[in-house]
Amino acid sequence: MGVGDPLNQFEAFVNAVGSVFDGPVTWFRESVVDKNRPEYYWYHRQFRRVPTIDECYTDDIVCFVEANEQFKRDRMVDNEVLSILRQRHHDCILYEGHDHKEKCASIKEQYDKAAENWFIKYGDLGVYGDVKAAYMKQKHRLLWERRHGPVGTGMKNPME
């Protein structure tokens, strides 16, 4: 018995009913459509890397616009990556059920780290947050870290 064979008569009957609709369509596809179609391709658009915002002069608007577009594309890619990691975590929870706290720990840690990094780079920029805002956010974070130590260890007293 092959994998796709019906297990019992009822399943065979249901398959037969389905083939009333499926049969003609499949026949049409295989005999008419597949024989006459030409073979041609389409491609996904690939964008070259352009200079980032830290390599642009302050009065160079074209450089800024290109860096902004690249930033938006990179943010879209990062959003999708994060979605995939989140979906992996959710699938693991669904699969493991009540054991998910131990079984899915590594996946959860992977997702949490990725989410934290995403928030460091793109979080709290607001609706109008462009690449300049993200760059300034990074600059402020580095200054803060220079003054107070790593983020998460508290602020130092200015008197110190």
Partner 1 sequence: MSVISCLRLSSLRNNIISPTKCLITVQREMGHGGPKKMVITASRWQWHKYKDLLHFYTMLGLIPLGTLVFAINVFIGPAKLAPIPEDYNPKNWEYYQHPISRFLARFLYPSHQQDYEKYLHFVYEENEKKQMRLLETKVKEMMAERGDSQAFYYRPILTKYHRYVRKVYDDLDDTRGY
Helix (H) or strand (E) holding 27: helix 9-28
Residue from 20, 45, 128, 153 binding partner 1 (CB under 8 A): 45
For every residue of 98-148, DSSP letters joined together read GGHHHHTHHHHHHHHHHHHHHHHHHTT--TT--HHHHHHHHHHHHHHHHHH
Site residues (CB under 8 A) for partner 1, limited to 48-107: 59, 61-62, 65-66
Which lies closer to partner 1 via its Cβ, residue 61 or residue 105? 61
Is residue 32 close enough to count as binding partner 1 by CB under 8 A?
Answer: yes
Is residue 43 close enough to count as binding partner 1 by CB under 8 A?
Answer: yes
**Nearest distance from C-beta of residue 28 to partner 1, angstroms:** 9
132 to 41, 64, 146: CA distances (angstroms): 39, 8, 21
Residue from 10, 21, 42, 57 binding partner 1 (CB under 8 A): 42
Distance CA 55, CA 67 (A): 9
Residue from 9, 46, 106, 157 binding partner 1 (CB under 8 A): 46
- CB count within 10 Å of CB 85 equals 19
Residue from 1, 7, 44, 152 binding partner 1 (CB under 8 A): 44
Is residue 36 close enough to count as binding partner 1 by CB under 8 A?
Answer: yes
Which residues contact partner 1 (rule: CB under 8 A)?
32-33, 36-46, 59, 61-62, 65-66
